[in-house]
Amino acid sequence: MSQLRTLLVVGAGGHGKAVAEAALLSGQWQRVNFVDDRWPALEAVCGMPVLGGLDRLAEYAATADGAIAAVGNNRVRRVWQERIVAAGGASLVSVVHPRACVSPSAVIGPGSAIMALAVVGAEARLGQGVILNAGAVVDHDVVMHDYAHLGVGACLAGGVVVGMSAWLQAGCSAGYGVVIEPGCVVTPGQALIARD
């Protein structure tokens, strides 16, 4: 009989729920516990327990096999991820939904979340704490720096570079070779093309 593996999800909001479900569906995790500062008012999410607030993160991490910061806000995700690493105990892990398509030549940094129907192409490189929401496409040779975030259905053509903590909101697209500056926020449905 195999050991049941427990994932600690820091953040029990919408993204946290999606990450927890993806983790369980992946088969790599059999239990999920949450940490969220809304505890004790929030005791459970989708039938999974909220153990307590972030002030006891080190204690909870010590009882888990892995942990991930699951919040859409890039700055907050970075802070929480740094707290997970500093706490020790659980390893910082990435979660990949089983219905995502990830090239075997792609590199995915720790603490990243790749959601349902997302695509990661050949030789793509994702830094740590990256989010690819449902249906996002990262084509071949794309580089996404740490804490970058693609909204639902965002599409990056080959060779795009996304700077640290940049956020492409739902439905955005970037053409071949576009460079998106660190911290940039691209609004829903906007298309970016490379300049000659």
Report the catalytic residues. Answer: 140
Is 177 annotated for ligand binding? Answer: no
- Cβ neighbours around 94 below 10 Å, total: 19
Peptide bond into 110 cis (omega under 30): no
Nearest CA-CA partner of 45 in 56, 55, 34: 34
Is 149 annotated for ligand binding? Answer: yes
Both tokens assigned to 56: 């006891």
Cα distance between residue 123 and residue 116, in whole Å: 20
Q: Is 89 left (phi over 0), alpha (psi -120 to 50) or beta?
A: left
Binding residues for acetyl-CoA: 149
Binding residues: 72, 149
Binding residues for substrate: 72
